[in-house]
Amino acid sequence: MRALPRGETNADGVLAAHLDPHDALELVSSGARAVLGLPATGIVTGSPADLVAIGGSSLREAMATATEDRLVIRRGRFVSRTRVLHEAPGQL
């Protein structure tokens, strides 16, 4: 497993503040909304579907092994996907 690249807000919180992954996610999601004065939201019918998805079978795994691959959803609609392909010189 590899650590998240520097600059990943959630990983920085876990590493620097010794936060549990769930607490770090809360800090950068619901906590950030509260600081900005935005209403609370969650994964429920009728809530805004604004999210960035990364792969993993659990939050801990997603944070520990995250790649640069991302799926962005804004207002319930697919906005963007980032995929990174790593190839060795002999594979080109």
Give 33-78 pLDDT, tens digit per residue. 899 998 887 777 877 788 888 888 888 888 777 778 889 998 889 9
* Domain range list for the chain: 9-91
Q: What's the pTM value of the predicted model, to 2 decimals?
A: 0.59
Segment (H or E) for 7: none
Mean pLDDT for 26-38 is: 86
* Residue 59 CB-half CA count within 13 A: 10
Mean pLDDT of 8-37: 77
Is 60 exceeded by the pLDDT of residue 10?
no
